[in-house]
Amino acid sequence: MLRLITGIPGPSGFGSASTAEQVTQGIDASHLTVVITGGAAGIGFETGRVLALRNAHVIIAARNMEAANDAKQNILQQNEKARVDALRLDLCSIKSIKEFAERFHDLNVPLNILINNAGIMFCPFQLSEDGVEVQFATNHLGHFYLTNLLLDKMKETAKTSGIQGRIVNLSSVAHLYTYVNGIEFDKLNDKTSYSDKKAYGQSKLANILHANELSRRLQAEGVNITVNSVHPGLIMTNLFKHSGNLMGLLKLFSFFMWKNVPQGAATTCYVALHPQLKDVTGKYFLDCNEYQPSKLANDEDLAKKLWDFSNKLIDSALSKTAAERPATII
Protein backbone atom coordinates (compact mmCIF):
# COMPACT_ATOMS: atom_id res chain seq x y z
CA MET A 1 0.00 0.00 0.00
CA LEU A 2 2.89 2.37 0.84
CA ARG A 3 4.41 1.83 -2.60
CA LEU A 4 1.04 2.40 -4.25
CA ILE A 5 0.53 5.72 -2.48
CA THR A 6 4.08 7.03 -2.70
CA GLY A 7 5.10 5.58 -6.07
CA ILE A 8 8.27 4.15 -4.55
CA PRO A 9 9.77 1.70 -7.08
CA GLY A 10 9.64 -2.02 -6.36
CA PRO A 11 12.23 -4.71 -7.20
CA SER A 12 11.77 -4.08 -10.94
CA GLY A 13 12.93 -0.49 -10.55
CA PHE A 14 9.44 0.79 -11.38
CA GLY A 15 6.31 1.50 -9.36
CA SER A 16 2.81 2.96 -9.38
CA ALA A 17 4.03 6.37 -10.54
CA SER A 18 5.96 5.00 -13.53
CA THR A 19 4.60 5.76 -16.98
CA ALA A 20 4.49 3.59 -20.09
CA GLU A 21 7.15 5.73 -21.74
CA GLN A 22 9.43 5.45 -18.73
CA VAL A 23 9.27 1.64 -18.47
CA THR A 24 10.05 1.24 -22.20
CA GLN A 25 12.72 3.93 -22.43
CA GLY A 26 15.62 2.81 -24.61
CA ILE A 27 13.89 -0.35 -25.90
CA ASP A 28 13.88 -0.89 -29.67
CA ALA A 29 10.81 -2.89 -30.72
CA SER A 30 11.27 -2.41 -34.48
CA HIS A 31 11.44 -6.19 -34.95
CA LEU A 32 8.11 -6.82 -33.20
CA THR A 33 4.48 -6.96 -34.30
CA VAL A 34 1.80 -6.41 -31.67
CA VAL A 35 -1.96 -6.96 -31.64
CA ILE A 36 -3.76 -5.01 -28.94
CA THR A 37 -7.49 -5.30 -28.34
CA GLY A 38 -9.35 -2.17 -27.32
CA GLY A 39 -6.51 -0.08 -28.67
CA ALA A 40 -8.71 2.81 -29.77
CA ALA A 41 -9.09 4.51 -26.39
CA GLY A 42 -7.94 4.67 -22.77
CA ILE A 43 -4.99 2.65 -21.62
CA GLY A 44 -5.26 0.49 -24.74
CA PHE A 45 -4.59 3.53 -26.92
CA GLU A 46 -1.73 4.69 -24.68
CA THR A 47 -0.21 1.20 -24.81
CA GLY A 48 -0.40 1.18 -28.60
CA ARG A 49 0.97 4.71 -28.86
CA VAL A 50 4.00 3.92 -26.71
CA LEU A 51 4.73 0.60 -28.42
CA ALA A 52 4.57 2.40 -31.78
CA LEU A 53 6.90 5.05 -30.34
CA ARG A 54 9.32 2.20 -29.62
CA ASN A 55 9.00 1.25 -33.33
CA ALA A 56 6.78 -1.83 -32.98
CA HIS A 57 4.24 -2.59 -35.71
CA VAL A 58 0.98 -2.04 -33.83
CA ILE A 59 -2.33 -3.52 -34.93
CA ILE A 60 -5.28 -1.91 -33.18
CA ALA A 61 -8.22 -4.28 -32.78
CA ALA A 62 -11.42 -2.44 -31.93
CA ARG A 63 -15.19 -2.67 -32.36
CA ASN A 64 -15.60 0.99 -33.33
CA MET A 65 -13.63 1.45 -36.54
CA GLU A 66 -14.13 5.20 -36.61
CA ALA A 67 -12.47 5.45 -33.20
CA ALA A 68 -9.77 2.97 -34.25
CA ASN A 69 -8.91 4.98 -37.35
CA ASP A 70 -8.89 8.19 -35.32
CA ALA A 71 -6.48 6.52 -32.90
CA LYS A 72 -4.29 5.44 -35.80
CA GLN A 73 -4.18 8.99 -37.20
CA ASN A 74 -3.46 10.38 -33.73
CA ILE A 75 -0.45 8.08 -33.41
CA LEU A 76 0.77 8.97 -36.90
CA GLN A 77 0.44 12.70 -36.18
CA GLN A 78 2.70 12.28 -33.16
CA ASN A 79 5.07 9.88 -34.92
CA GLU A 80 4.97 9.95 -38.72
CA LYS A 81 7.22 6.89 -38.92
CA ALA A 82 4.86 4.76 -36.81
CA ARG A 83 3.59 1.49 -38.26
CA VAL A 84 -0.07 1.18 -37.31
CA ASP A 85 -3.00 -0.79 -38.70
CA ALA A 86 -6.60 -0.99 -37.50
CA LEU A 87 -8.90 -4.00 -37.82
CA ARG A 88 -12.45 -4.46 -36.60
CA LEU A 89 -13.00 -6.81 -33.67
CA ASP A 90 -16.11 -7.28 -31.54
CA LEU A 91 -15.08 -9.52 -28.66
CA CYS A 92 -18.73 -10.11 -27.80
CA SER A 93 -19.19 -12.00 -31.08
CA ILE A 94 -17.57 -15.33 -31.95
CA LYS A 95 -18.29 -14.58 -35.62
CA SER A 96 -16.50 -11.23 -35.46
CA ILE A 97 -13.48 -12.76 -33.71
CA LYS A 98 -13.19 -15.40 -36.43
CA GLU A 99 -13.42 -12.72 -39.13
CA PHE A 100 -10.76 -10.63 -37.38
CA ALA A 101 -8.38 -13.58 -37.27
CA GLU A 102 -8.93 -14.18 -40.98
CA ARG A 103 -8.23 -10.52 -41.82
CA PHE A 104 -5.14 -10.56 -39.63
CA HIS A 105 -3.77 -13.65 -41.36
CA ASP A 106 -4.40 -11.95 -44.72
CA LEU A 107 -1.93 -9.23 -43.68
CA ASN A 108 0.80 -11.88 -43.84
CA VAL A 109 2.77 -10.41 -40.94
CA PRO A 110 4.41 -12.10 -37.95
CA LEU A 111 2.93 -11.88 -34.46
CA ASN A 112 5.23 -11.48 -31.49
CA ILE A 113 2.98 -9.94 -28.85
CA LEU A 114 -0.74 -10.26 -28.12
CA ILE A 115 -2.21 -7.86 -25.57
CA ASN A 116 -5.72 -8.86 -24.47
CA ASN A 117 -6.66 -5.42 -23.19
CA ALA A 118 -10.28 -4.64 -24.10
CA GLY A 119 -13.06 -5.02 -21.58
CA ILE A 120 -16.40 -3.88 -20.22
CA MET A 121 -17.34 -3.31 -16.60
CA PHE A 122 -20.35 -3.45 -14.25
CA CYS A 123 -22.90 -3.91 -17.05
CA PRO A 124 -26.58 -4.59 -16.43
CA PHE A 125 -27.42 -8.23 -17.11
CA GLN A 126 -27.51 -9.10 -20.79
CA LEU A 127 -26.46 -11.92 -23.09
CA SER A 128 -24.09 -11.73 -26.03
CA GLU A 129 -25.28 -12.67 -29.52
CA ASP A 130 -23.90 -16.14 -28.74
CA GLY A 131 -26.02 -16.42 -25.59
CA VAL A 132 -23.31 -15.85 -22.96
CA GLU A 133 -23.40 -13.34 -20.08
CA VAL A 134 -21.87 -10.27 -21.66
CA GLN A 135 -19.05 -9.45 -19.20
CA PHE A 136 -17.81 -13.03 -19.26
CA ALA A 137 -18.25 -13.17 -23.05
CA THR A 138 -16.33 -9.97 -23.73
CA ASN A 139 -13.67 -9.95 -21.04
CA HIS A 140 -12.79 -13.63 -21.03
CA LEU A 141 -14.38 -15.80 -23.70
CA GLY A 142 -13.68 -13.42 -26.59
CA HIS A 143 -10.02 -13.15 -25.63
CA PHE A 144 -9.79 -16.88 -25.04
CA TYR A 145 -11.04 -17.60 -28.57
CA LEU A 146 -8.95 -14.84 -30.13
CA THR A 147 -5.81 -16.20 -28.46
CA ASN A 148 -6.61 -19.69 -29.73
CA LEU A 149 -6.98 -18.41 -33.30
CA LEU A 150 -3.73 -16.43 -33.22
CA LEU A 151 -1.63 -18.91 -31.29
CA ASP A 152 -0.33 -20.88 -34.28
CA LYS A 153 0.93 -17.65 -35.86
CA MET A 154 2.64 -16.74 -32.60
CA LYS A 155 4.24 -20.18 -32.36
CA GLU A 156 5.45 -19.94 -35.96
CA THR A 157 6.85 -16.45 -35.38
CA ALA A 158 8.67 -17.48 -32.20
CA LYS A 159 10.16 -20.51 -33.92
CA THR A 160 11.30 -18.83 -37.14
CA SER A 161 12.51 -15.59 -35.56
CA GLY A 162 14.02 -17.00 -32.38
CA ILE A 163 12.30 -14.15 -30.51
CA GLN A 164 10.26 -15.08 -27.46
CA GLY A 165 6.56 -14.31 -27.91
CA ARG A 166 4.53 -12.69 -25.17
CA ILE A 167 0.83 -12.79 -24.35
CA VAL A 168 -0.51 -10.30 -21.80
CA ASN A 169 -3.98 -10.59 -20.26
CA LEU A 170 -5.33 -7.49 -18.57
CA SER A 171 -7.02 -8.60 -15.38
CA SER A 172 -7.81 -6.52 -12.30
CA VAL A 173 -7.57 -6.50 -8.54
CA ALA A 174 -11.34 -6.94 -8.87
CA HIS A 175 -10.64 -10.66 -9.37
CA LEU A 176 -10.62 -10.79 -5.57
CA TYR A 177 -14.31 -9.91 -5.50
CA THR A 178 -16.17 -12.67 -7.28
CA TYR A 179 -18.69 -15.41 -6.58
CA VAL A 180 -17.97 -17.88 -3.77
CA ASN A 181 -16.78 -20.62 -6.13
CA GLY A 182 -14.91 -18.21 -8.34
CA ILE A 183 -16.60 -19.10 -11.63
CA GLU A 184 -20.33 -19.80 -11.71
CA PHE A 185 -20.20 -22.47 -14.40
CA ASP A 186 -23.78 -23.65 -13.81
CA LYS A 187 -25.26 -20.19 -13.23
CA LEU A 188 -23.30 -18.13 -15.72
CA ASN A 189 -26.46 -16.94 -17.48
CA ASP A 190 -28.73 -16.87 -14.44
CA LYS A 191 -30.25 -13.40 -14.28
CA THR A 192 -31.74 -13.94 -10.80
CA SER A 193 -28.35 -14.47 -9.13
CA TYR A 194 -26.49 -11.95 -11.29
CA SER A 195 -24.34 -9.29 -9.64
CA ASP A 196 -22.73 -6.78 -12.00
CA LYS A 197 -19.75 -6.35 -9.63
CA LYS A 198 -19.20 -10.07 -8.98
CA ALA A 199 -19.70 -10.90 -12.65
CA TYR A 200 -16.93 -8.44 -13.49
CA GLY A 201 -14.71 -9.98 -10.82
CA GLN A 202 -15.51 -13.41 -12.23
CA SER A 203 -14.39 -12.34 -15.71
CA LYS A 204 -11.17 -10.83 -14.34
CA LEU A 205 -10.46 -14.01 -12.37
CA ALA A 206 -10.98 -15.90 -15.62
CA ASN A 207 -8.32 -13.73 -17.29
CA ILE A 208 -5.71 -14.86 -14.76
CA LEU A 209 -6.80 -18.50 -14.83
CA HIS A 210 -6.62 -18.45 -18.65
CA ALA A 211 -3.12 -16.94 -18.61
CA ASN A 212 -1.86 -19.44 -16.06
CA GLU A 213 -3.32 -22.49 -17.80
CA LEU A 214 -2.07 -21.38 -21.23
CA SER A 215 1.36 -20.75 -19.72
CA ARG A 216 1.47 -24.30 -18.33
CA ARG A 217 0.39 -25.78 -21.66
CA LEU A 218 2.96 -23.83 -23.68
CA GLN A 219 5.71 -24.76 -21.24
CA ALA A 220 4.75 -28.44 -21.55
CA GLU A 221 4.99 -28.10 -25.35
CA GLY A 222 8.34 -26.36 -25.11
CA VAL A 223 6.96 -23.31 -26.95
CA ASN A 224 8.93 -20.08 -26.66
CA ILE A 225 5.98 -17.89 -25.62
CA THR A 226 5.29 -16.44 -22.17
CA VAL A 227 1.83 -15.65 -20.80
CA ASN A 228 1.24 -13.26 -17.91
CA SER A 229 -1.62 -11.21 -16.45
CA VAL A 230 -1.61 -7.67 -15.11
CA HIS A 231 -3.66 -5.27 -13.03
CA PRO A 232 -3.25 -1.81 -14.60
CA GLY A 233 -4.50 0.07 -11.54
CA LEU A 234 -7.45 2.36 -10.94
CA ILE A 235 -7.84 4.69 -13.91
CA MET A 236 -10.93 6.74 -14.80
CA THR A 237 -11.65 5.70 -18.41
CA ASN A 238 -14.72 4.83 -20.50
CA LEU A 239 -14.67 1.46 -18.75
CA PHE A 240 -16.66 3.13 -15.96
CA LYS A 241 -19.51 4.32 -18.19
CA HIS A 242 -22.01 2.08 -16.38
CA SER A 243 -20.93 3.30 -12.93
CA GLY A 244 -19.56 6.81 -13.36
CA ASN A 245 -21.29 8.30 -10.31
CA LEU A 246 -20.20 5.46 -8.04
CA MET A 247 -16.61 5.61 -9.27
CA GLY A 248 -16.56 9.40 -8.94
CA LEU A 249 -17.55 9.08 -5.31
CA LEU A 250 -15.00 6.32 -4.75
CA LYS A 251 -12.28 8.43 -6.33
CA LEU A 252 -13.13 11.34 -4.05
CA PHE A 253 -12.27 9.24 -0.99
CA SER A 254 -9.39 7.27 -2.53
CA PHE A 255 -7.76 9.85 -4.79
CA PHE A 256 -4.28 8.79 -3.64
CA MET A 257 -4.76 5.31 -5.19
CA TRP A 258 -5.74 6.43 -8.71
CA LYS A 259 -3.46 6.66 -11.72
CA ASN A 260 -3.50 8.70 -14.89
CA VAL A 261 -3.64 6.92 -18.25
CA PRO A 262 0.16 6.94 -18.94
CA GLN A 263 0.68 5.33 -15.52
CA GLY A 264 -2.17 2.91 -16.15
CA ALA A 265 -0.53 1.62 -19.34
CA ALA A 266 2.87 1.17 -17.69
CA THR A 267 2.46 -2.36 -16.33
CA THR A 268 1.12 -3.67 -19.63
CA CYS A 269 4.01 -2.12 -21.57
CA TYR A 270 6.52 -3.37 -19.01
CA VAL A 271 5.29 -6.97 -19.17
CA ALA A 272 4.93 -6.86 -22.97
CA LEU A 273 8.31 -5.35 -23.79
CA HIS A 274 10.86 -5.17 -21.01
CA PRO A 275 13.88 -7.52 -21.28
CA GLN A 276 13.69 -8.18 -17.51
CA LEU A 277 10.63 -10.33 -18.24
CA LYS A 278 12.40 -12.79 -20.54
CA ASP A 279 11.32 -16.36 -19.65
CA VAL A 280 8.95 -15.07 -16.93
CA THR A 281 5.58 -16.75 -17.40
CA GLY A 282 2.40 -17.58 -15.50
CA LYS A 283 2.76 -14.57 -13.20
CA TYR A 284 0.53 -11.67 -12.10
CA PHE A 285 1.85 -8.11 -12.12
CA LEU A 286 0.76 -4.90 -10.42
CA ASP A 287 2.63 -1.58 -10.62
CA CYS A 288 5.29 -3.24 -12.82
CA ASN A 289 6.13 -5.78 -10.12
CA GLU A 290 5.12 -9.38 -9.54
CA TYR A 291 2.39 -9.96 -6.94
CA GLN A 292 0.50 -12.96 -5.68
CA PRO A 293 -3.11 -13.05 -6.90
CA SER A 294 -5.94 -14.72 -4.98
CA LYS A 295 -6.00 -18.37 -3.97
CA LEU A 296 -8.68 -19.02 -6.59
CA ALA A 297 -6.47 -17.47 -9.28
CA ASN A 298 -3.78 -20.03 -8.45
CA ASP A 299 -6.19 -22.99 -8.50
CA GLU A 300 -4.96 -25.28 -11.30
CA ASP A 301 -8.06 -27.47 -11.22
CA LEU A 302 -10.30 -24.42 -11.58
CA ALA A 303 -8.15 -23.21 -14.49
CA LYS A 304 -8.45 -26.55 -16.29
CA LYS A 305 -12.20 -26.63 -15.73
CA LEU A 306 -12.50 -23.09 -17.10
CA TRP A 307 -10.41 -24.08 -20.15
CA ASP A 308 -12.72 -26.98 -20.99
CA PHE A 309 -15.84 -24.93 -20.24
CA SER A 310 -14.67 -22.11 -22.51
CA ASN A 311 -13.99 -24.49 -25.38
CA LYS A 312 -17.48 -25.96 -25.01
CA LEU A 313 -19.06 -22.50 -25.14
CA ILE A 314 -17.10 -21.68 -28.30
CA ASP A 315 -17.95 -25.00 -29.94
CA SER A 316 -21.63 -24.38 -29.17
CA ALA A 317 -21.48 -20.87 -30.65
CA LEU A 318 -19.70 -22.11 -33.78
CA SER A 319 -22.26 -24.90 -34.23
CA LYS A 320 -25.08 -22.38 -33.91
CA THR A 321 -23.47 -20.09 -36.48
CA ALA A 322 -23.00 -22.97 -38.90
CA ALA A 323 -26.62 -24.05 -38.48
CA GLU A 324 -27.83 -20.53 -39.26
CA ARG A 325 -25.72 -20.23 -42.42
CA PRO A 326 -27.85 -20.35 -45.60
CA ALA A 327 -27.56 -23.54 -47.62
CA THR A 328 -25.45 -23.35 -50.76
CA ILE A 329 -27.46 -23.63 -53.97
CA ILE A 330 -25.82 -25.92 -56.51
DSSP designation for 58: E
Instruction: Considering the candidates 145, 177, 179, 194, report the single residue annotated as catalytic.
Output: 194
How far is residue 113's CA from residue 56's CA, in Å, rounded to a whole number? 10
What is the arrangement of strands in the sheet containing 33-37, beginning at the earlier edge strand? Answer: 83-88, 57-62, 33-37, 113-116, 165-170, 225-231, 284-286, 289-291
Nearest to 53 by CA among 78, 22, 87, 85: 78
Residue type, 263: Q
Burial class (CB in 10 A: 0-12, 13-18, 19+), 56: buried
**Pairing mode of beta strands 165-170, 258-259:** unpaired
Is 194 annotated in the active site?
yes
Burial class (CB in 10 A: 0-12, 13-18, 19+), 195: middle
62: left (phi over 0), alpha (psi -120 to 50) or beta: beta
**Alpha helices for the chain (secondary structure H):** 2-6, 20-23, 42-53, 65-78, 94-106, 134-136, 142-161, 196-221, 244-253, 261-264, 266-273, 300-324
| Separation CA 221–CA 281 (nearest Å) | 14
CA separation for the pair 240, 250 (Å, rounded):
12
C-beta of residue 290 within 8 angstroms of C-beta of residue 267: no
Catalytic residues: 194
